[in-house]
Amino acid sequence: MRIGIVSPYSFDVPGGVQNHIVDLAEALIALGHEVSVLAPADEDAELPPYVVAAGRAMPLPYNGSVARIAFGPVSTARVRRWLARGAFDVLHVHEPLTLSLSLLAVLSARGPVVATFHTAMVRSRALAAAQGFLQPVVEKITARIAVSELARKVQVEHIGGGAVEIPNGVAVAKFATAEPLPGWPGQGGALGFLGRFTESRKGFELLRTAFVTLARERPGLRLLVAGPGDRDDLYAGIPAELHPRVEFLGLVSEPDKARMLRSVDVYVAPNTGGESFGMILTEAMAAGATIAASDLDAFRRVLDGGRAGALFPTGDTAALTGLLGELLDDPGRRHELAAAARTAVEAYDWPSVANRVLEVYATAIEATDGRVFDEEWAEPRSGS
Amino acid sequence: MPRMWWVMGVLAVAAVLSAYLAWTAHRVERVHVRAASAGRALDAHLLRRAAAAAVVAENTDFVELYAAARLALDAEPDEREAAENDLTRQLRTVRLTGADPASRTLVATSRRVVLARQVHTDLVRDALTARRRPLVRLLRMARHYERPRYFEIVEPDLPEPLTVTPRPAPEPPVPVST
């Protein structure tokens, strides 16, 4: 199949949507499809061979953060040229309702369009207000994908119609084979946390309190933290004598993230809410870590109802402390949970996820021109 | 020369209006063509599902499933929805392992039925929304197209996709001796 994918955000800055697009494109290419990705980027930017640069991106504040996007007549012309040259069987746009290349591509598209919705804003006034104007855009989208139950709900409420839920994939092999950091996890037990520890909904405070309690009783216990933030903020809430037992990695690259997740006995996700899917959990599962997570809907679903990771009542520090103590004392249980996690994460491996996306592509193509694929629809058809 | 400005203005308004009408007519055409295509695709996938179910029923001597599959394949248009619902109900009682090609085909076709139905429902809704617009009703732009209709069946189950590439389980990190 010839597939055109449009990224609304620039690859110059890392982000969830960009990572998703790169992994999806590579998985599709590995399955034998022709893929071209259009993304805002400078002409001289270093890009993977399948990415086409659509020109410089403009910083624009959106949804609480700064997105670098491209929009305007120059971008429109480039989108049209890319579409004309690509002759794609299907066009796959991400976040099509933002002012971006994705929106331009939908407006210029003639064939089947598949759209993926990542955002899980609970209510977007902008979207609600723009509903009438967006109808011509929505109308051109043939099939919709939402990456989480929450994203699907938002989508259904705001623009009507359904969406197929296909979770974010995870490159299982990359995580499963990463080398643990030197000296980790060590003999005394190691806990891990990754994320913005200053943000209260990530729940780091719970873990910090639990760690301080546990570390007093367990002389070898250590804590490994990675994520954006200031070193001093991290150490501020921890008694000075425990500082040597807390290691801070700062913002880590993707390969280092995998190594970090392989370096801990228990990965802790103490989030108190707002997590739409729990991407980090599937990554920890792929890395073979034992997981202790808050009992949020999304986490429970990813962790197979608690079989692939231990759950504790959201926001309950005492319960977290107790659970971590139990897990640290019981290597057998940890092993069991980690083994169940590795089985459960197969469903999130990129080849599996890419195949589910391909089913949606086929459905969209059929609904646009009435072609119906036979059994071997996943194979590239001759003459295309 | 105020008269010329008047003429220019009227011409400009007429041009914009006709462009808008043409665009709207094109939109109406597109949503109807798509809803019809999606309907054909859904029909094809339902037939494939029924055929696959019949093969699985034959292999496993499951009489009720075979009967439901035959009825779905032979149903008259006005009995189609009920027949497909019966087949969906029978399929719920079958545990598909994906061990043999017939059950793999049945899993694949059942998944495609769910996706095709979802897309068909969305496209029919778009078409009906377009038909309700005042301008479209006033100029009877949709009169050449048959009114699309929802295919009202119970939501079929979406079976888990069969694993694509079984891979060996990765090594766990070195367990800590406590």
Which strands, in side-by-side order, build the sheet including A222-226? A246-248, A222-226, A190-194, A266-269, A290-294, A310-312
Residue A102 within any structural domain of the chain: yes
Is the pLDDT assigned to residue A39 strictly greater than 60? yes
Q: Are residues A164 and A182 in the same domain?
A: no
Question: For position A215, which CATH number holds?
Answer: 3.40.50.2000
Same domain, A338 and A276: yes
Alpha carbons A41 and A56: distance in angstroms, whole number: 5
Say if residue A58 is in the same domain as residue A203: no
Amino acid identity, residue A231?
R
A326 and A356, same domain (yes or no): no
Q: Does one domain contain both A109 and A245?
A: no
Residue contact A139–B118, C-beta within 8 A: no
Partner-chain contact A351 B165, CB within 8 Å: yes
Share of chain B above pLDDT 70, in %: 89
**Residue reference for tokens 């070195």:** B174
A381 occurs within a structural domain: no
Tell me which chain A residues have a C-beta less than 8 angstroms from the C-beta of B116.
363, 366-367
**Number of domains present in the structure of chain A:** 2
CB < 8 Å to A138, chain B: 126
Q: Are residues A29 and A164 in the same domain?
A: yes
Give the tokens for residue B11: 């011409």
Whole-model pTM?
0.79
**Inside any domain, residue A378:** no
Is A137 in the same domain as A224? no
Share of chain A above pLDDT 90, in %: 5
Does A197 share its domain with A279?
A: yes
Task: Say whether both A7 and A112 belong to one domain.
Answer: yes
- A164 to chain B, any CB pair closer than 8 A? The answer is yes
Do A321 and A361 lie in one domain? The reply is no
- For the ranges A264-268, A369-373, B3-7, the lowest mean pLDDT is seen at A369-373
Provide DSSP, A19-82: HHHHHHHHHHHHTT-EEEEEE-B-TTS---TTEEE-BPPEEEEETTEEEEE--SHHHHHHHHHH
Tell whether A146 is covered by a domain: yes
pLDDT tens profile A265-282: 889 888 887 666 677 888
pLDDT mean across residues, chain A:
80
Cα distance between residue A302 and residue A296, in whole Å:
10
Q: Does A345 touch chain B (CB under 8 A)?
A: no
Q: Which domain holds residue A262?
A: 172-347
**Annotated domain spans of chain B:** 27-138
B40-85 pLDDT, tens per residue? Answer: 888 888 988 899 888 888 888 888 888 888 888 888 888 888 888 8
Say if the Cβ atoms of B130 and A144 lie within 8 Å: no
ipTM of the complex: 0.81
